[in-house]
């Protein structure tokens, strides 16, 4: 068996060395791209203004859309109800939240008497201001 040991070592070296040289000739693997860290609630920052506008949009969708156009290009379902995007042409939006809070919004007979909490009135006015357009219709 001693006579076979050098032959086995030679055979093993003959098999291993070419395999090692093939590995070293290849390009090193590219580093893996860093994994994106999922966003947590703390990472997502919503401004107070965005929150007010979102609250106002929800109110407009619920309380106003039955009669008024609330979007950028839709038609009002009620023929006498102005599109909300045009209110700045006839109403001072800076005083509207106080009128909403007091329940004195319009003299139109079909307009319901809405009375809002201050936070909802501020939200609705913020939404109304965000959708105003200056282009003629």
Is residue 15 pLDDT above 80, yes or no?
no
Q: What is the dihedral of CA 46, 103, 65, 83, to 10 degrees?
A: -90
DSSP string, 49-104: HHHHHHHHHHHIIIIITTTS--SSSPPPSSTTSPPGGGGGGTS-TTTHHHHHHHT-
pLDDT higher at 59 or 10: 59
pLDDT for 43 equals 63
Superfamily, domain 48-131? Cytochrome c-like domain (1.10.760.10)
How confident is the model at residue 105, as a pLDDT? 74
Work out the average pLDDT over 75-98. 92
Where exactly are the structural domains of the chain? 48-131
In the block, residue with structure tokens 């005083």: 95
Q: Note the pLDDT of residue 8.
A: 52
- Rounded Cα gap, residues 86 and 137, in angstroms: 9
- pTM across the whole model: 0.64
């Amino acid at each position: 068996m001693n006579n076979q040991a050098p032959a086995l070592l030679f055979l093993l070296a003959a098999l291993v060395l070419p395999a090692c040289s093939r590995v070293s000739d290849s390009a090193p693997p590219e580093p893996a791209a860093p994994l994106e860290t999922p966003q947590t609630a703390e990472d997502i920052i919503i401004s107070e203004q965005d929150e007010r506008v979102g609250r106002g949009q929800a109110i407009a969708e619920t309380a106003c859309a039955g009669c008024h156009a609330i979007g950028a290009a839709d038609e009002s379902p009620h023929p006498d109800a102005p599109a909300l995007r045009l209110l700045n042409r006839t109403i001072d939006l800076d005083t509207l939240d106080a009128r909403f809070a007091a329940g004195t919004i319009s003299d139109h007979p079909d307009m319901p008497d809405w009375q809002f909490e201050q936070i909802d009135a501020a939200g609705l006015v913020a939404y109304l201001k965000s959708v105003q357009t200056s282009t003629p219709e």
